[in-house]
Every structure is written in structure tokens, then in C-alpha cells.
């Protein structure tokens, strides 16, 4: 009798844990108890090719984003960053290749699966893409109106939470035309995280901002990434972002993956194309040399 009881206890317990791991709120549940996903390689792209007519713009690119970290896609204008990001979030079809989210290929998902995945993705578009005719509050509430059945009071509570988190407590009733560029980016960021996403994509979050405001935005994205254990992917030209927040960096050159590594590896990189992109000015080349000397004297075995 006791053996049968124990067997059933284990079976029901197993079923309960299994359903918790696969239910729609799995991410929130795992975050709450600080657990890791069983397969923590969350976003991987494999052999991505994209062409427009004869023109190949992404050529056989494979990469694995670091879960729960800030991942950067860098490269000169036209190297394919935005196209690659659009492919990663399913806004643009691939010519061939796979985009895997926890092992599941986005390019083969049906509409229901895609809709479910999209709810877990936050996106900050280049230029913020706010609705000019809507207030800050209505802009941030928009994804909740579209994707949830929350009551107005619940939505407003969530909107105020995220606005507070991006330090925009009293901006609810302002229109985009009435706020600064940096504030617009923060509104766009609040909108991107309002649904508590598991994945955050930012296309040039610093474009058009002064260096100081850029640092504020970078810091905010980094804090949100760590705080909510989001896997973040950022397209950027900004060298401060590269040095401060590149846990994983994919350097694109004319549609090809030219280099990958972290911001710490960049100092020692011998890749000429990467070096001429990152350390474009004489000043930065000198700074790299100084950093290498410093790092070598701290770690005599470093090559
Ligand atoms: N819809 C499209 N039709 C045809 N060509 C396109 C299309 N979208 C992008 N391209 C081409 O793909 C290439 C990569 O463009 P992409 O926008 O990804 O560059 P990027 O690295 O994001 O540049 P930037 O830093 O200026 O934003 C470019 O040569 C561009 O002209
Ligand atoms: Mg772009």
C-alpha cells in the first residue's frame, strides 16, 4: 500500500513539475525561483542566407546568443545587421537556414507557435517607432491591448511599473513630440519590456543620441537584461556600447560573419577588418595598444 502511494506521489509530482516547465508562464516561474532553463542555449542561428534577387546580403551566418546576457551585432552600414535582426524575430523570411529558439526552428513554426513566441519578444526599433498620435501611456499600453485580456486597471498598473523602471514616472500624458530623443528611447524601451519578454531586440538604440544619454540607455538595457534575465540582442555602431556591454559580439562584414568574441577579446584581436572598424581613429588605436600593454603586464602569459 505504502509503495503504491509513493509511486503515485512521485508520478503526480513529476507531472506537476513537467507542466510547470512547459506552461505559458514558464519564464516568469523560472525567473521567480532563479532557475535555469533545461536547454539554456536559447537563440541560435544556423547557416542563415538571405538574398534580394541576385544580391546576397547575409551569407551563411551561424551564431549562438549568450542566454541572459547582452549580445551585440556590429558592423559598418549595410553589413546586414538589420536584415539579420528582422530574420531573427521572424519579420523577414530567410532564403535558407534556421533560427532556433530553445531548439525550435522559427522558420518552420505555424501561426499559433509564432504568435506565442512573439509574445515573448520585445523589440526596440531604430528611431523608436512611437505612435505620434498616442500619449506615452497609450504607446506603452499598446502591446497589452493587442496581446492580453488584462483589465484597464491591470494594464495601467503594469504601464506605470515599467515607466517607473525607465525613470519616466510623470510622463504618462505627454505626446512623443513633447519629449526629448532620450526620453523617446526610454518610452520605446518601456514598451519593449511591458510584456515581460524573455528576448529583447534593440536596433541601434543609441542612434541620434548624445554620448552621455547613450550611456544612460546602454546602462538601462544592461540592468534590465540582468534584472529580468532577458537574452538581449543589440545592433550597434556605438563603440561605448561595444566596450561596456558586449558579452558576445558578432561582427558582420559585407553580409559575412567576420569575427565573434567578447568585448575583452577585442583588445587582443588580430582581425584586420575588425580592428579597422573598432579602432578607426589614431586615438583609439593608441588606446588599444595601451590596453594590451596594461593587460600583458597584469597577465604576463597573455599573447
Ligand atoms: N527590402 C530590401 N530589399 C533589397 N535590399 C535590401 C532590403 N533590405 C535591406 N537590403 C539591403 O541589404 C543590405 C543590408 O542592409 P541592412 O539594413 O541590414 O544594413 P545595416 O547593417 O543594418 O546598416 P545600417 O548600419 O545602415 O543600419 C544593404 O545592402 C541593403 O541595401
Ligand atoms: Mg540597420
Q: What is the mean pLDDT of the chain?
A: 84
Instruction: Check residue 276 and give its pLDDT.
Output: 86
Distance of alpha carbon 65 from alpha carbon 67, whole angstroms = 6
Q: What residue owns the CA closest to ligand 1's atom 8? A: 83
CA torsion angle for 71, 241, 56, 259 (degrees, to 10)?
Answer: -70
Distances 245 to 81, 129, 217, 279 between C-alpha atoms, Å: 17, 24, 12, 17
pLDDT tens digits, residue range 159-210? 999 999 888 888 999 999 999 988 999 999 999 999 999 999 999 998 888 8
pLDDT tens digits, residue range 73-122? 999 999 999 999 999 999 999 999 999 999 999 999 999 999 899 989 99
Looking at the chain, the whole-number percentage of residues with pLDDT higher than 90 is 56
Ligand 1 centroid distance, CA of 12 (Å): 52
- Provide the pLDDT confidence category of residue 4 given band limits of 50, 70 and 90: low
Instruction: Check residue 300 and give its pLDDT.
Output: 63
Pocket test for ligand 1, best of 52, 74, 76, 255 (most atoms within 8 A of CB): 52
Write down the pTM of the prediction.
0.81
Amino acid at each position: 500500500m505504502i509503495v503504491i502511494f509513493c509511486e503515485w506521489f512521485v508520478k503526480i509530482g513529476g507531472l506537476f513539475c513537467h507542466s510547470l516547465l512547459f506552461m505559458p508562464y514558464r519564464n516568469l516561474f523560472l525567473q521567480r525561483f532563479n532557475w535555469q532553463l533545461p536547454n539554456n542555449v536559447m537563440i541560435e542561428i544556423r547557416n542563415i542566407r538571405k538574398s534580394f534577387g541576385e544580391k546576397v546580403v547575409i551569407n551563411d551566418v551561424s551564431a549562438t546568443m549568450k542566454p541572459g546576457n547582452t549580445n551585440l551585432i556590429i558592423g559598418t552600414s549595410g553589413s546586414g545587421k538589420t536584415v539579420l535582426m528582422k530574420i531573427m524575430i521572424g519579420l523577414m523570411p530567410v532564403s535558407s537556414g534556421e533560427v532556433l529558439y530553445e531548439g525550435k526552428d522559427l522558420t518552420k513554426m505555424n501561426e499559433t507557435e509564432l504568435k506565442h513566441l512573439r509574445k515573448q519578444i520585445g523589440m526596440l526599433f531604430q528611431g523608436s517607432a512611437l505612435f505620434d498620435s498616442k500619449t506615452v501611456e497609450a504607446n506603452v499600453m499598446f502591446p497589452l491591448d493587442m496581446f492580453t485580456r488584462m483589465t484597464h486597471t491591470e494594464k495601467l498598473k503594469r504601464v506605470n511599473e515599467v515607466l517607473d523602471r525607465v525613470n519616466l514616472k510623470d510622463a504618462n500624458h505627454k505626446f512623443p513630440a513633447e519629449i526629448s530623443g532620450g526620453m523617446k528611447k526610454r518610452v520605446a524601451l518601456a514598451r519593449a519590456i511591458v510584456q515581460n519578454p524573455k528576448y529583447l531586440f534593440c536596433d541601434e538604440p543609441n542612434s541620434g543620441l548624445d554620448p552621455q544619454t547613450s550611456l544612460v540607455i546602454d546602462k538601462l538595457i544592461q540592468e534590465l537584461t540582468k534584472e529580468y534575465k532577458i537574452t538581449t540582442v543589440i545592433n550597434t555602431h556605438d563603440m561605448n556600447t561595444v566596450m561596456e556591454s558586449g558579452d558576445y559580439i558578432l561582427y558582420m562584414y559585407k553580409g559575412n560573419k567576420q569575427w565573434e568574441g567578447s568585448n575583452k577579446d577585442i583588445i587582443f584581436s588580430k582581425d584586420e577588418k575588425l580592428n579597422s572598424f573598432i579602432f578607426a581613429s589614431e586615438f583609439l588605436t593608441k588606446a588599444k595598444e595601451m590596453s594590451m600593454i596594461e593587460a600583458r603586464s597584469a597577465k604576463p602569459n597573455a599573447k
